[in-house]
Amino acid sequence: MARIFLTGSADGLGLLAAQLLLQAGHQVVLHARNEARAQVAQAGAPGAETVVIGDLSSLAGMRQVAEQANQLGRFNAVIHNAGVGYREPRRGATADGLPAVFAVNSLAPYVLTCLIERPARLVYLSSGLHREGDASLHDLTWDTRPWSGYQAYADSKLHDVLLAFAVARHWPQVLSNALEPGWVATKIGGPGAPDSLAEAPKTQAWLATSQAKTALVTGQYFYHQQQRAFLPAAADPAVQDRFLAACARLSGIPFPAST
């Protein structure tokens, strides 16, 4: 059985994936942004090993999460599920001066990938909206662009694919993949979302644990356990490396070399 860490697992797809993994007999470590949310997570997945607590909207919180995760020992897989939705009415600013959508959806997966002891598998939650993301990577932090919550979200979901594919290329010993769960009725998706909520958490759990040949791949993009077409620019090593360089500059954490 595998040992998996899931970010953003107090509710929504993260909690649903945790429940699937627990039902299959795997060990699961949850994550919540504060103590109150941690209690919600534990109630929703009572068989979980523990809950890591830290707010992924700040660099300090990202480091806190990574440190706690490393104290628990190496994981077989990490599922980067935590995310902020597209209905943000204004840019706003985190403690580090960044838009929350970029901090949580884009930079946090990068920082955790760099700092958490390298697992055998990495899984990144993207969205079909990544196809509308800006592959130029211009003004990642929305300092000069007129704010659009929708575009910021689409950009961030492209960033997740870029990160997954960059990791697959730079760390060939790690299985690193991205997926879209579908437009489902979570807090981000909204109550009118048309896709199956029951199917939405299955692919990430499968990519994290399955021994099926179709799951033992890297640098791929999935939907409902099937490979799916993605924005072609996401496969461009130059775009991937520009994203890694930008995240390194913004976080102060360089991307680790393959070892």
Rounded Cα distance, 202 and 169, in Å: 25
Token readout for 243 is 């994203």
Q: What do you get for the CA distance between the two ends of the chain, in Å? A: 25
**Catalytic one among 86, 124, 153, 223?**
153
Tell me if residue 157 is catalytic. yes
Q: In Å, what is the CA distance from 218 to each residue of 169, 172, 211, 222, 256?
A: 9, 8, 13, 11, 18
**Catalytic one among 86, 110, 124, 157?**
157
Largest CA distance in the chain: 49
Using a 10 angstrom Cβ sphere, with 0-12 exposed, 13-18 middle and 19 or more buried, the burial of residue 128 is: middle
Tell me if residue 202 is catalytic. no
Main-chain phi, psi angles of 120, to 5 degrees: -75, -25
Rounded Cα distance, 82 and 108, in Å: 9
Positions marked catalytic: 153, 157
